[in-house]
Amino acid sequence: MIPELGHFALALALALALAQSVLPVMGAQWRDARLMGAAAPLALGSALAVIIAFGALIAAFVQNDTTVLNVVQNSHSAKPLLYKISGVWGNHEGSMLLWLLVLALCGAAVASFGRNLPSSLQARVLAVLGMIMTGFALFILMTSNPFTRVWPPAPDGQGLNPLLQDIGLALHPPLLYGGYVGTAVTFAFAVAALIEGRVDAAWGAWVRPWALSAWAFLTAGITLGSWWAYYELGWGGYWFWDPVENASLLPWLATTALLHSAIVVEKRGALKIWTVLLALLAFALSLLGTFMVRSGVLNSVHSFAADPARGVFILGMLAVYVGGAFALFAWRAPSMVPQGSFAPISREGALVLNNLLLCCIAAVVLVGTLYPMFLDLIAGRLISVGPPFFNSATLPLALPLVAAMALGPLMPWKRAVLWPVVQRLWWAALAMAAVFAVTWTILRVPFWPALGFGVGVWLIAGAKADIIERIQLFRVPLRTALARARGLPLSAWGAAIAHAGLGVSALGIAGMGLATETLVALAPGQSTHFAGYEWRLEGVRDAQGPNWTSRRAEVTVLRDGRAVVTMRPQRRYFPIGRTTTTEAAISTNFLRDLYAVLGEEREGQAVLRLHNNTLAPWIWLGGLIMALGAVVSLADRRVRVAAPQRRAKVAQAGMGQA
């Protein structure tokens, strides 16, 4: 009964979404207030229907309803409740329903909080969101229905992919989808603006919070995914330039560019056409990522159930949404008059440079991901592109980007002179040079990690300099400076925090350049010396989990004869599904990770792979700081957008160079 209700609710959502995509557009065209007014209730209604459908699927998983095919294929009664629930989106059908759910919730948010939008703009935005919802609801109902029944019922489920039975991966898809769907909202705003033929500062002010929240979700999702790969796959690496990873990195790069160019639209009324194009691109890349992952046109370390028939459907959606949006762009954008010329050396100039470099990096990653597929198609010749290509192609673009990241926020709008800005950053530059020189020449760190340390310090110092300049610390009395700090707009804090977060990540990545590892075979009681510690294998025992059995090694790590920590790396065997996973043991003190993986056992000896990963936690810490920066900035946006009258006060209090 419950699965049928879910199925019906999904069909209802499709019907409501279809109405939502047609009626408001007609209303906006004919200036009919009643038809435009239908947009918000329809968006709320379709969101409610999708919530019911999603709830029904969760209920089927929690009850382990083995008459539902999706449950049989992906769940098992012995699975802990948390993973039963995360199993809902751990498979293709459920994850698409989650996509639709997040999209519907965003539509509901635009419907409820968007009352101060011009009514025609709100109606058109909701209509575009309705069109996207229609596509995804059709996709789910036609090619990937999660409510399909089986009869007779299976005795029990076939278990979830054990790799996915993990807290990191339980949270990873919802975060990433939050980001993807956030780009759908900015896309809807861009399309609505193209239909209206008008892009103004208010539009920029509305797009930026959505771009920011999409960016925060994408940042958190990518960070979590990278952390998961680090501790679960047991290779000790954190980024593999895998096509699936690239598929999430591409919209992140486009959204990063978008949220910076939206600032220029909002503050200076320039870069409008470019910003609209970026909003279209960000969503196009999100859809492209979905397409590449789900259709099987590419081959990846990550395995997904791929199905060409689904690929055809997603390609069709790409053609309608992206093709349609770009056609609209080609038709309408020429009539938008470019405004606001500006000097190359200025805040907006720095933001344009940021955009250019980010887009170049995105283009490099896109080409590197697609090139092998297209070359095979066109020339029948085969090549493969790996990390060496991506590292050597993106690094020269990332370095000037990072240099400009610290300089840009210190520049005034309209016209700036470079020299005074550089002067204000002299101590950041000095710190960078000192760190680089000391690590390279005295500590004998290889060139690239040493440069990475310098860059990280430069970013953090630059973010600090930005705040210090704005509150005029050391130049005015401390009390005044603190008052200025309180009055500083949260978006300024957010930007500084996010930039510093990237610096923290850069330090972590540079530290990982110094990571060492070793492979040893030890009998119980034996020990080995590695990374300044003595590692003693105490023994290997059997352990039992809810739906797995494992071999668990106990390794005592000693320094100067005293035990520092006991590590328990495991190899888990999942009888249902007959798969084995490695559970790396990680001990961190935030300056380095000790990382141990248990390999095969033979002749009374266990093979252990030991890593010493310098500064590894900083990579993900930096990612979280970046996402936090976006959240802080968003808090400010809400104040500004929701209460325009307070906006003036805040702006006055926090003038500075803002």
Partner 1 sequence: MSKTSRRLLLAAPLGLAAAGGVGFWYMLDGLQDGSYDPRTVPSALLGRPVPEFSLPPVDEQPLAGLARADLLNLPRPVLVNFWASWCVPCIIEHPQLMTLQREGIPVFGVNYKDKAGDARAFLARRGNPYARLAADEPGRAAIEFGVYGVPETYLVDRQGIIRWRWPGPITTEVLEQDLRPLLRRFA
Binding residues for partner 1 (CB under 8 A):
233-235, 240, 273, 277, 280-281, 284, 291, 295-299, 301, 308, 311-312, 315, 318-319, 322-323, 326-327, 329-330, 333-334, 370, 372-374, 376-378, 382-386, 388, 519, 521, 571, 580, 582, 597, 599-602, 607
CB 319 to partner 1: min, Å: 6
Torsion of CA 473, 478, 483, 487, to 10 degrees: 10
The secondary structure of 467-502 as a DSSP string is HHHHHTTTTS-HHHHHHHHHHS-HHHHHHHHHHHHH
Q: Is cis: bond before 152, omega within 30 of 0?
A: yes
CA angle, 112 as apex, 108 and 116 as ends, to 5°?
135
CB 189 to partner 1: min, Å: 17
CB 334 to partner 1: min, Å: 5
CB 370 to partner 1: min, Å: 8
In this complex, which beta carbon is closest to partner 1, that of residue 583 or of residue 636?
583
CB 363 to partner 1: min, Å: 11
Q: What are 284's two structure tokens?
A: 């196009």
- Name the amino acid, one letter, at 9: A
Q: If you count DSSP H runs as helices and E runs as strands, how many of each does the chain have, helices first? A: 22, 10
In this complex, which beta carbon is closest to partner 1, that of residue 198 or of residue 647?
198
Q: Burial of 603 by CB count in 10 Å (0-12 exposed, 13-18 middle, 19+ buried)? A: exposed
Beta-bridge partners for 598 = 608
CB 602 to partner 1: min, Å: 5
Q: What are 487's two structure tokens?
A: 């009055």
Tell me how far apart the alpha carbons of residues 125 and 21 are, in angstroms, rounded to a whole number: 9
CB 291 to partner 1: min, Å: 7
Tell me how far apart the alpha carbons of residues 323 and 327 are, in angstroms, rounded to a whole number: 6
In this complex, which beta carbon is closest to partner 1, that of residue 378 or of residue 442?
378
302 phi and psi angles, rounded to 5 deg? -80, 135
In this complex, which beta carbon is closest to partner 1, that of residue 439 or of residue 547?
547
In this complex, which beta carbon is closest to partner 1, that of residue 81 or of residue 378?
378
CB 556 to partner 1: min, Å: 22
CB 580 to partner 1: min, Å: 7
Tell me how far apart the alpha carbons of residues 62 and 76 are, in angstroms, rounded to a whole number: 10
In this complex, which beta carbon is closest to partner 1, that of residue 98 or of residue 271?
271
In this complex, which beta carbon is closest to partner 1, that of residue 291 or of residue 535?
291
In this complex, which beta carbon is closest to partner 1, that of residue 168 or of residue 599?
599
Of 365, 362, 394, 96, the C-alpha closest to 242 is: 365
Beta-bridge partners for 553 = 540
The secondary structure of 160-216 as a DSSP string is --GGG-SHHHHHHHHHHHHHHHHHHHHHHHHHHHHHHT---HHHHHHHHHHHHHHHH
In this complex, which beta carbon is closest to partner 1, that of residue 18 or of residue 597?
597
CB 473 to partner 1: min, Å: 45
Residue 198 CB neighbour total at 10 angstroms: 14
Residue 442 CB neighbour total at 10 angstroms: 8
CB 277 to partner 1: min, Å: 6
In this complex, which beta carbon is closest to partner 1, that of residue 235 or of residue 413?
235
In this complex, which beta carbon is closest to partner 1, that of residue 27 or of residue 234?
234
Tell me how far apart the alpha carbons of residues 178 and 99 are, in angstroms, rounded to a whole number: 8
Which region, left, alpha or beta, applies to residue 380 given φ > 0 means left and ψ of -120 to 50 means alpha?
Answer: left
CB 551 within 8 A of CB 601: yes
In this complex, which beta carbon is closest to partner 1, that of residue 94 or of residue 372?
372
CB 253 to partner 1: min, Å: 16
* Residue whose entry in the numeric block shows the structure tokens 């076939």: 158
CB 207 to partner 1: min, Å: 18
* Full 3-state SS string of 589-639: CCCEEEEEEEEEEECCEEEEEEEEEECHHHHHHHHHHHHHHHHHHHHHHHH
Q: How far is CA 401 from CA 8, 219, 335, 348, 353, in A?
A: 50, 18, 32, 14, 8
In this complex, which beta carbon is closest to partner 1, that of residue 66 or of residue 144?
144
Tell me how far apart the alpha carbons of residues 281 and 444 are, in angstroms, rounded to a whole number: 43
Q: Burial of 271 by CB count in 10 Å (0-12 exposed, 13-18 middle, 19+ buried)? A: buried
CB 362 to partner 1: min, Å: 13
**Do the bridges between strand 516-522 and strand 533-544 make them parallel or antiparallel, or are there none, so unpaired?**
unpaired
CB 537 to partner 1: min, Å: 15
In this complex, which beta carbon is closest to partner 1, that of residue 359 or of residue 504?
359
CA angle, 356 as apex, 622 and 125 as ends, to 5°?
80
**Structure letter (DSSP) for residue 57:** H
In this complex, which beta carbon is closest to partner 1, that of residue 384 or of residue 645?
384
